[in-house]
Chains A and B, each alone.
Chain A
Amino acid sequence: MYLRIIRNDVWRSKVITLTIAAFIIAAALLVSLAAVLVVNLFGAIDSMMLQAKTAHFLQMHSGDINTERLLKFAGQNGNVEEFQILEFLNVDGSQIVLGENSLVDSVQDNGLATQNERFDYLLDLDGNVIHVSDGELYVPIAYMKDGTAKRGDTAVICGKEFKVAGFLRDSQMNSALSTSKRFLVSENDYAQIRNLGAVEYLIEFRLKDLEKLGAFEAAYIAAGLEANGPTVTYPLFRMLSAIADGMMIAVLLLVSVLVVIVAFLCIRFTLLAKIEDETREIGVMKAIGLRVSDIKRIYHAKYAALGLFGCLAGFALSFLFKGILLENIRLYMGNAENASLALLFAIAGVAAVFLAIIAFVSLVLRRFRKISPAEAVRFGAIQEKPAGAGRFTLSQNRLLSTNVFLGVKDVLGRKKLYATMLAVLVIASFIMIVPQNIYSTISSADFITYMGIGNCDMLISIQQTDHMERKAAEINEAMKDDDSIARHVVLVSKMFEVKTEQGTPERIKVELGDHSVFPIQYTKGKAPETGDEIALSGINTDELGKTVGDTITLLLGGKEKSLTVCGIYSDVTNGGKTAKAIFSDNSAEILWYTIAAEFTDSALPETEVEEYAGAFTYAKVAGIEEYLAQVYGSTIDAVKKASYTAVAAALLISALIILLFMKMLLVKDRYSIAVMKSLGFTNSDIKRQYLSRAGLVMILGVLLGTLLASF
């Protein structure tokens, strides 16, 4: 019998049923996709890191290295399971040509490495450890994704010819957000070109107990070992790999929550209209002795069936779509071992959507209690009380045409009825605007000022080379004489020891120079303006337990220097642990130089950038657009994909809702439409009235949605 009720009801209201089904399908699809993606992403990262035996602690270092001392440290520290020092041969981008493409414009630190024997393996696309032969070159996967190289290409590195034998997954440096990229060559080939590039050391540890990573990190610093490059730990490797796809998942989840809300609004609206329509029948059922729970069951049946169908369909559809979304994860990280877990999560997510629908329908149906059988039998529908638009009378209206007036008056008089449609439109505009905003924010040049980089046209960095000071001065001089440079600044990064209250040694990288030339955004406070001020990155602020106004003491060549914390900023460069100050110092070792410049004519920065790159081959020169595209490109792409999906979804939702709503309104208003027709209103008059209603609500909805999204 329930089957017949459902079938008849669906048949009678095809459009409405279809719309609701579509929303449930969409919600289930998105939730299922998000679940599959989450499990696959983290599963793939985990299995890749397991196969590659990723280092738990990595310290990059260039220059002299005391292997004896490091070995001794590794031997003495009880938590070290394995230890190795690897070489990474920094090769300038201009010295790397893959097929037709040169890496001269790459902001990545490209370099050669050999396969490791103990851990931190470089993997092929099947997840196996690569065994490379002489003359073969394995290229980082990112260069396959962006089409720079393909298998079989001839590559020339520092004049030596290689054949691109395949691509590699690097569990530590896969992500575009990590700035180094390892190319794999054989031991023999490596030995041949070793003296053509700058050797950087990767000091790597695998720990027995990963939980005690923090303690190990502190012990390493306390031992005063080699540490003039970035430090990266296992959790950070994991996060770097997850961030781009993670953002896409977050957007998917956000949209799915909104779609569920819209589905709820539709269900509520449909149910209320139906209850109103069938008040009499509900009253009769109560009168002949059916319990409220019995009547609820009849109404529930349809939504349970609809929910079940929608959830199953959405779940099935997610299998069609997941391939596209998983493509990136598969390429970079391979397959997850726990794919069946993904299925389980997806089922759980879809089941949650189903249960939420059932619970929600039950909530709406509580209204049955209020229907009095006596009244329902006697009067039929519950009388609607017009309210609100009392002073808005037709006889006093001079402004609007009669039809538009009647439309507006109807909206004002039945606010509750139109509130549902308004809410949907507000949400739809919100869905459209927010991801677009995020996209345009992170893709705009200003955004970098929130991430620790000033808004300039060109960034030059000098690092891991000899005579850095002289080279920086050389570029500085050249820029001073260059009319096409509007302003520029030379910043030098040095490592200093911080004297902490606990007495434990901490070391921080401080960028010294004039920070007012290309200002960044400070979340608190301001840029350092005098020699005794220092600004800290967010992560450093947390680690040192300082805030604006506190003082910290640095050791400059053995002497203490007190500095006042004047500002806090967020930073994504150099692992987020940075500081900015203005004092001069000759004691500490130089880590690197950064030279930022702005052109007088910023319309055509490419030629200028090329000029500098040509003139100063020892420096890494990049236009800011290019720098951003290379560092955040994949993140921006993921957000872009998600935001376009959101726009399409929101448009579809709005169109469906308006259609649905108008259809129901026409059914509800058949009596007043008949009255108006009998009074001589034409069909187009009535059409105009309904268009004004929809128009008014739409304008309001879009306005409110935009307002909401801009907060």
Chain B
Amino acid sequence: MKNIIRCENIVKTFGEGDQQCRTLDGVSAQIGDGEFVAVMGPSGSGKSTLLFALSGMDTTSKGSVYFLGRDLSELKENELADMRRRQMGFIFQQPTLLRNLNILDNIVLPSLRDNRGNATGITRKAQDLMRKTGIAGLEKRDVTQVSGGQLQRAGICRALMSTPEIIFGDEPTGALNSKAAEDIMDIVSEINAGGTAVMLVTHDARVAARAGRVLFMQDGKILSEFQLTKFRKEDLDSRTQKVSDRMREMAI
């Protein structure tokens, strides 16, 4: 299995002198092609910082991150932007759609940037994705006229438009009720089953239980890794139990 992302001994510090704080303290990790990795840990353990560093949204103080073999620290701002737009997808905790655009426009926005000529094809693909994620018919709706779960689905559609190598999720279910969260995670699992790698940051054992591998973090370090078997929906409860037990063991 080839690596999509690999990081070596990365350090991220904030502040200076006495005030200095190491949010990432020598982290090394990798995510393979089609793999589903969940990152867990208490607040302030550095989970989100790791996600931002791996996706090129934030720089590191030390160490290197490689995406498909390319050292991110050597890429310019625009090259990083192009990389995120074409090869990565993002799902955030809060609905992150633009208020001035309707649902459909929000989904097609990044793709139109690269392919204006093929607007019809792009729209068709977006509508296809909307149907798959269960939000068909909301194309013309304003972002304030749909539910949080529907917004998150629209966010997923946007992330999938470029057929990315990997999807990053930062607490994608954090702002949703349990039913909506379950539906969203079903979609994520389905995307992963289709061969797209996934990296999720979460507090929720039930979300992490869908991953093939769980990383536990504390104080900017990876404390341990937990390998799970291939995901099947009917095993979700038992997998969740396993993850919770492991968390308790580690006193997280």
Residues of A whose CB lies within 8 Å of any CB of B are 1, 4-5, 8-9, 12, 278, 280-281, 284-294, 369, 372-374, 377-378, 380
Q: List 17 A-B pairs, Cβ < 8 Å.
A: A1-B101, A5-B100, A280-B96, A284-B96, A284-B98, A285-B109, A288-B84, A289-B81, A289-B84, A289-B85, A290-B109, A291-B77, A292-B81, A373-B57, A373-B58, A377-B57, A377-B96
List, in ascending order, chain A residues with CB within 8 A of B105's CB. Answer: 1, 4
Using A1-B112, A373-B57 as known contacts, say yes or no to A281 and B99 having CB atoms under 8 A apart.
yes
Q: A373 to B85, alpha carbons, bound, how many Å?
A: 13
Is B180 on the interface with A (CB-CB < 8 A)?
no
Smallest CB–CB gap between A362 and chain B, Å?
Answer: 17
Interface hit among B86-94, B145-153, B181-189, B214-222: B86-94
Question: What 5 pairs between A and B have smallest CB-CB spacing?
Answer: A289-B85, A289-B84, A374-B52, A374-B58, A284-B96
Q: CB-CB < 8 A to A287: which residues of B?
A: 55, 57, 84, 90, 92, 96
Contact check, B58 vs A372: say whether CB atoms are below 8 A apart: yes
Kindly list 12 other residue pairs between chains A and B, CB separation below 8 angstroms, not including A1-B101, A372-B58. A284-B98, A286-B57, A288-B84, A289-B83, A289-B85, A291-B77, A291-B81, A292-B78, A369-B77, A373-B58, A374-B52, A374-B58
Decide: B81 and A290 in contact? CB cutoff 8 A: yes
Residues of chain B at interface, number, CB under 8 A: 33
Q: Is B243 an interface residue (CB 8 A)?
A: no
One digit per residue, 1 when the CB lies within 8 angstroms of any chain A CB and 0 when it does not, for chain B 159-172 equals 10000000000100
> Is the CB of B82 closer than 8 A to any CB of chain A?
yes
Q: How far is the CA of A8 from the CA of B81 in the complex (A)?
A: 26
Q: Which of B82, B94, B99 has a CB less than 8 Å from the CB of A289?
A: B82
Contact check, A290 vs B85: say whether CB atoms are below 8 A apart: yes
**Is B239 close to A, CB under 8 A?**
no
| Given A1-B101, A289-B86, A373-B57: A284 touches B92 (CB 8 Å cut-off) | yes
Are the CB atoms of A290 and B113 closer together than 8 Å? yes
* Chain B interface residues (CB < 8 Å from chain A): 48-49, 52, 55, 57-58, 77-78, 81-86, 88-90, 92, 94, 96, 98-102, 105, 109-110, 112-113, 158-159, 170
Which residues of chain A are near B110, meaning CB under 8 Å?
A: 288-290
Please report whether the interface of chain B is mostly helix, strand, loop or mixed according to DSSP.
helix
Q: Which residues of B contact A289 (CB under 8 A)?
A: 81-86, 88, 110
Q: Which of A289, A290, A373, A377 has its CB near the most chain B CB atoms (within 10 A)?
A: A289
Chain B hits for A293, CB < 8 A: 78
CB-CB nearest in chain A for B105 = A1
The CA-CA distance from A291 to B88 in the complex, in Å, is 14
CB distance from A673 to the nearest CB of B (A): 21
Question: CA separation between A369 and B81, bound complex, in Å?
Answer: 12
Q: Whole-angstrom distance between the alpha carbons of A278 and B143 in the complex?
A: 14
Shortest Cβ gap from A662 to chain B (Å): 23
B116's nearest neighbour on chain A, judged by CB, is A1
Q: Which residues of A contact B94 (CB under 8 A)?
A: 280, 380
Residues of B with C-beta under 8 A to A380: 94
The reply to whether A288 and B159 contact each other, CB–CB distance below 8 Å, is yes
Bound Cα distance A75, B78 (Å): 78
A1 to B103 CA separation, bound complex (whole angstroms): 12
Roughly how many angstroms separate A12 CA and B110 CA in the complex, as a whole number?
24
Interface centre among A9, A292, A374, A380 (most CB of B within 10 A): A374
Q: How distant is the Cα of A289 from the Cα of B90 in the complex, in angstroms?
A: 10
Q: In the complex, how many angstroms separate the beta carbon of B176 from the nearest chain A beta carbon?
A: 17
Q: Chain A contacts of B100 at CB under 8 A?
A: 4-5, 8-9, 12
